[in-house]
């Protein structure tokens, strides 16, 4: 069931989403050669707690960390362990969620460690971020959920990359994952009608190669089945009468 949010609820979601944006901005300053993913986890957790908020991922379905840190062929849900040491040229997706005053915010960003190793890696990150922008442009009253996915898919595939099919965006609010599901692929003019008051987490996950995925033995980390690199960007947005507004941006 889709819940349309009141102005008061939207303000609370925005507050949580802004804390997520702060975390991602802060994390970006520390991503460099030799830093471990656990260093990022510690920094993020300290900041969230300092803001009197709760790390939304930690304990969610028994997930053990505050962040998801996914490197290169890891798409999502990567563990931020001390053994995962970043090196120059790595693509690092950092996904963060925050709970404050009963409402969630959720966002993700892909960083590069120091500089890109290849032009294709740079293109992958740029295309993924642009596809998020294009999806958000379609998130407006009267459009349908399929319009979001179609915009993302058409742009990504025209650039020679693949849209991950097994994992999708979602509604967000009093729960971290709410209805509706928001695939990053689809057919224009299909799906649920978008209405003011919806709060959505749109999150394209894009692969350099095929879209097939696998889950590592830890039960969480999702990787590309063919071993190619992936990128991931996400924003929490609200649908308003005139269009959409990004809540997880400083």
- The C-alpha atoms of residue 246 and residue 235 are separated, in whole angstroms, by 7
Q: What is the pLDDT of residue 213?
A: 98
One digit per residue, the tens of pLDDT, for the chain of length 250 reads 999 999 999 999 999 999 999 999 999 999 999 999 999 999 999 999 999 999 999 999 999 999 999 999 999 999 999 999 999 999 999 999 999 999 999 999 999 999 998 999 999 999 999 999 999 999 999 999 999 999 999 999 999 999 999 999 999 999 999 999 999 999 999 999 999 999 999 999 999 999 999 999 999 999 999 999 999 999 999 999 999 999 999 9
Q: What is the pLDDT of residue 25?
A: 98
Q: What is the pLDDT of residue 229?
A: 98
Q: What is the pLDDT of residue 135?
A: 98
**Domain residues of the chain, as ranges?**
7-246
Count of H-run helices and E-run strands, the chain:
4, 15
Determine the topology of domain 7-246 in CATH: Creatine Amidinohydrolase (3.90.230)
CA dihedral 234, 238, 239, 241 (to 10 degrees): -140
- Which segments are annotated as binding site for a divalent metal cation? 95, 106, 170, 203, 234
Residue 224's contacts (CB-CB under 8 Å, 6 or more residues apart) are 73, 75, 207, 208, 209, 210, 212, 213, 214, 230
Q: What is the pLDDT of residue 4?
A: 98
Q: What is the pLDDT of residue 84?
A: 98
What 8-state DSSP symbol labels residue 124?
H
Q: Is 0.85 topped by the overall pTM?
A: yes
In 3-state terms, the chain is what percent helix, strand and coil (to 5)? Answer: 30, 30, 45
- Which segments are annotated as binding site? 77, 95, 106, 170, 177, 203, 234
- Which segments are annotated as binding site for substrate? 77, 177
């Amino acid at each position: 069931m889709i819940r349309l949010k009141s102005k008061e609820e939207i303000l609370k979601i925005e507050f949580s989403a802004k804390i997520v944006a702060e975390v991602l901005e802060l994390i970006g300053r520390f991503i460099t050669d030799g830093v471990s993913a656990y260093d990022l986890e510690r920094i993020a957790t300290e900041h969230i707690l300092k803001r009197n908020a709760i790390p939304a991922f930690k304990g969610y379905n028994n997930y053990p960390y505050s962040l998801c840190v996914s490197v290169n062929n890891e798409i999502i849900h990567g563990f931020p362990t001390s053994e995962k040491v970043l090196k120059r040229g790595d693509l690092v997706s950092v996904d963060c969620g925050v709970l404050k005053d009963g409402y969630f915010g959720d966002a993700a960003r892909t960083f590069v460690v120091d500089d890109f190793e290849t032009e294709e890696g740079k293109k992958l990150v740029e295309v993924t971020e642009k596809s998020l922008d294009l999806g958000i442009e379609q998130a407006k009253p009267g459009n349908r959920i399929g319009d979001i996915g179609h915009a993302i898919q058409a742009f990504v595939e025209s650039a020679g990359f693949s849209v991950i099919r097994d994992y999708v965006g979602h509604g967000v609010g009093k729960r971290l994952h709410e209805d509706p599901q928001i695939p990053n692929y689809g057919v224009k003019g299909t799906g649920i009608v978008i209405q003011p008051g919806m709060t959505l987490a749109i999150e394209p996950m894009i692969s350099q190669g095929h879209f097939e995925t696998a889950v590592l033995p830890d039960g969480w980390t999702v990787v590309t089945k063919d071993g190619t690199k992936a990128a991931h960007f996400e924003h929490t947005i609200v649908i308003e009468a005139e269009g959409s507004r990004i809540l997880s941006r400083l």
